[in-house]
A and B are shown apart, each in its own frame.
Chain A
Amino acid sequence: MELTVLYYLIPSLIMFGCGVYGFITRKNLIAILISLELMLNSVDINFVVFNRFLFPGQMEGMFFTLFAIAIAAAETALAIAIIINIFRVVKNVDVENLTKMKY
């Protein structure tokens, strides 16, 4: 069995769908963050796959993915920090309760 591009893209698509679903339906900030990471990772997979299949001699996609992972890590750390601070203030991480700065 030969590994075609579809074998990579379909799991990536499923991952992305899960991410979107979680992002829309979850009310917990942590869960939303996880969903976000899921979407990001599925996009990373796409980068690598397209690089591998369309431009086999080049490495741009790979490196871009590495950068994206690094930035995602930093961003997650930041987001977690914000969420912890929110929790300290509101005693809650439910997205629907965070209306303090709305009006």
Chain B
Amino acid sequence: MDLSYSIITLLLPLFMFLLLGLFGMKMPKKVAGILGTCAMLVTTVIAYGVALKYFFDPQYMVDGVRQGQMVFNETWLTLGHGLKVDMGIFIDPIAAMMLIVISTISMMVHLYSLGYMHGEKGFQRYYAFLALFTFSMLGLVVATNIFQMFIFFEMVGVSSYLLIGFYYEKNSAVSASKKAFIVTRFADLGFLIGIMLLAYYCGTFDFKTLMSNPGSIVNSAAGVTFLGCSAASWALALIFVGGAGKSAMFPLHIWLPDAMEGPTPVSALIHAATMVVAGVYLVARMFPMYLFTPEVLDLITVTGAVTALYAAVVACAQTDIKRVLAFSTISQIAFMFTALGVARPELHEGVGYMASMFHLFTHAMFKGLLFLCAGAIIHMVHSNEMDAMGNLRKYMPITHITFLIACLAIAGIPPFAGFFSKDEILVAVYQQSTFWGVWMSAVAGLTAFYMFRLYYRIFWWNKPDYSHHTPHDCEWVMTVPLVILALISCVAGFIPFGHFVTWNGGNYDIHIMWEVAAPSIAIAVVGIVVATVLYRKENSLPDRIASSMKGLHRAAYRRFYIDEIYMFVTHKIIFGIICRGISWFDHNIVDGFMNLLARVTNGAAYSIRKLQSGQIQMYVWVYYIGALLLALVTCLLLI
């Protein structure tokens, strides 16, 4: 399959969005859903074809290094000074990898939603939005230049907004969608400023040009400094801020837990597997430039590490299962960022970059699976709260097994996928600094603990009263995606990922470093054992532990009051103090001036309105008198 077929993977979802968006309401729900799913299937097949062709065809290798392929590139806007914005398709290892991830998860979610969203109002609209999201996300990963990426970055944000607010009759969904849009948009402001800075100093948006010689480009902008950092550092740091907003890094993470108001398959697709890793993808895409600004990479490392710990601690205290998964997503994405931050070509051939992308790949699979399982459970129990669940392993065996596989994968137990990628990340981090290495190992242990806490609370614990409605496994459209993703989670770790994706396109042989892997397995097992002891059977021990650490537990449950701090800053300080002054100025000075103008005009109009009597004869009379006077004046002047 030629690489140029990749255009179909973009155009087909766009077409489906238009078709279902414009005419969906005229179709029966079933037709719209099946149409959307079939189109997605075609997209998936083509995306796989393109990606596999790219990975396995030797014509794209030069000296053992995979070359990025510019499949399409059309000038879209010319901005003068040789600066132009292109639209096109650029396929390189990470883009091809993302094609696989996005199309797989999107396909699973399309199929799963046939069951999950069955009978919902606005079913067709839902599929139209899913198609829009798939289009935007695929456009993002194949972007040829940073501006095209920005455009699709925003489109992804819009489709996320639309899907979070899918239940637009629910107040919480509406405010969650607004929150998500505003926070990510706020971060994207940084991205936009970063793009402008970069374009100003480099004269191009094009990834290929930027990456062909990143050192000289960064150095050319090194002369200009601001607050001790060069313009290039600022540009790259601001671009990272945009990525951090989309990827929910501390302190811009506040939107992601609230985004769980959307339908659960949407959370699986957007807020676990694909959109939230757009930030990681952005940094990975620009990685050769980041290498020349080590201070920004350090910023990324610290942000990632802090977020990983923060989110893991918060996840231990949440009781809403989707929120636990949301915080676990934040924590895992932070792992990817940390791995990118510690990646250096001289350390183990830049293993951090490969590890980050590997973790992105495996995480997408098992986190998508976790969310889809959670969706199946919520579908049966009709509640997000842990207290409404328990002992479900007897009722939902397939969901139980797949959820367990995903939990083992995320906890890093071999031979499941998460073990391999997390191990590579830890190797990369230990190479850079032992401190962060120990830190991330601790977070990995916490991960195992909170995931198994979730698992035991859902599938073991006590037995609530299900007498009104006995839960059972869902219909096949919902269980087949679970099984497929569980199989992928089992085997994905054995993919020789280093042969496909590395920071420079070369080959890297993954080998397990047991001096890192063994302790991390031990830590994960400890986490699992602790969770087993605490949560396997209903008991009062967790409550007693929680009450013995009352302050910490309460703070973690309230997410360390970050939302409250945001509320305080925005409402009390910005709205209350700064905006009050601006509002006074607006009301009195700006409006006052306009009112004065209006009043003067009004008064003048009142005083002369008698002239407009409507009597034509009066007008004619005035006209003749005027004409005569003019004639008289002319005569006098001539004489």
Question: Which residues of A are interface residues toward B (Cβ below 8 A)?
Answer: 20, 23-25, 32, 95-96, 99, 102
B620/A24 in contact, CB under 8 A: yes
Cα-based distance from A62 to B33 in the complex (angstroms): 82
- Name A95's closest neighbour in chain B (CB-CB): B617
- Kindly list chain A residues whose C-beta atoms are within 8 Å of the C-beta of B616: 95
- Cβ 8 A contact of A23, one of B614, B615, B617: B617
Please name 14 further chain A to chain B contacts, defined as beta carbons within 8 Å, in addition to the given A20-B620, A32-B617, sorted by A numbering.
A20-B624, A23-B617, A23-B620, A24-B617, A24-B620, A24-B621, A24-B624, A25-B617, A95-B615, A95-B616, A95-B617, A96-B615, A99-B614, A102-B614
Cα-based distance from A50 to B326 in the complex (angstroms): 96
- Name A103's closest neighbour in chain B (CB-CB): B614
- Kindly list chain B residues whose C-beta atoms are within 8 Å of the C-beta of A23: 617, 620
Cα-based distance from A96 to B620 in the complex (angstroms): 15
Question: Which residues of B are interface residues toward A (Cβ below 8 A)?
Answer: 614-617, 620-621, 624
- Kindly list chain A residues whose C-beta atoms are within 8 Å of the C-beta of B621: 24
- Name B624's closest neighbour in chain A (CB-CB): A20
Minimum Cβ distance to chain A for residue B515 (Å): 95
- Name A23's closest neighbour in chain B (CB-CB): B620
Cα-based distance from A49 to B620 in the complex (angstroms): 27
Minimum Cβ distance to chain B for residue A85 (Å): 18
- Kindly list chain B residues whose C-beta atoms are within 8 Å of the C-beta of A32: 617
Cα-based distance from A88 to B624 in the complex (angstroms): 33
4 tightest A-B CB contacts, nearest first? A24-B621, A24-B617, A102-B614, A24-B620
Q: Can you give 16 contacting A-B residue pairs, CB < 8 Å?
A: A20-B620, A20-B624, A23-B617, A23-B620, A24-B617, A24-B620, A24-B621, A24-B624, A25-B617, A32-B617, A95-B615, A95-B616, A95-B617, A96-B615, A99-B614, A102-B614
- Kindly list chain A residues whose C-beta atoms are within 8 Å of the C-beta of B620: 20, 23-24
- Name B619's closest neighbour in chain A (CB-CB): A24
Cα-based distance from A24 to B620 in the complex (angstroms): 7
- Kindly list chain B residues whose C-beta atoms are within 8 Å of the C-beta of A102: 614
- Kindly list chain B residues whose C-beta atoms are within 8 Å of the C-beta of A96: 615
Cα-based distance from A32 to B614 in the complex (angstroms): 16
- Name B614's closest neighbour in chain A (CB-CB): A102
- Name B613's closest neighbour in chain A (CB-CB): A102
- Name B617's closest neighbour in chain A (CB-CB): A24
Cα-based distance from A99 to B613 in the complex (angstroms): 11
Cα-based distance from A86 to B614 in the complex (angstroms): 18
Cα-based distance from A103 to B614 in the complex (angstroms): 10
- Name B622's closest neighbour in chain A (CB-CB): A24
- Kindly list chain A residues whose C-beta atoms are within 8 Å of the C-beta of B617: 23-25, 32, 95
- Name A99's closest neighbour in chain B (CB-CB): B614
Minimum Cβ distance to chain B for residue A83 (Å): 14
- Kindly list chain A residues whose C-beta atoms are within 8 Å of the C-beta of B624: 20, 24
Cα-based distance from A95 to B620 in the complex (angstroms): 14
Minimum Cβ distance to chain A for residue B635 (Å): 16
- Kindly list chain B residues whose C-beta atoms are within 8 Å of the C-beta of A20: 620, 624
Q: Which of B614, B616, B617, B620 has the most CB of A within 10 A?
A: B617
- Kindly list chain A residues whose C-beta atoms are within 8 Å of the C-beta of B615: 95-96
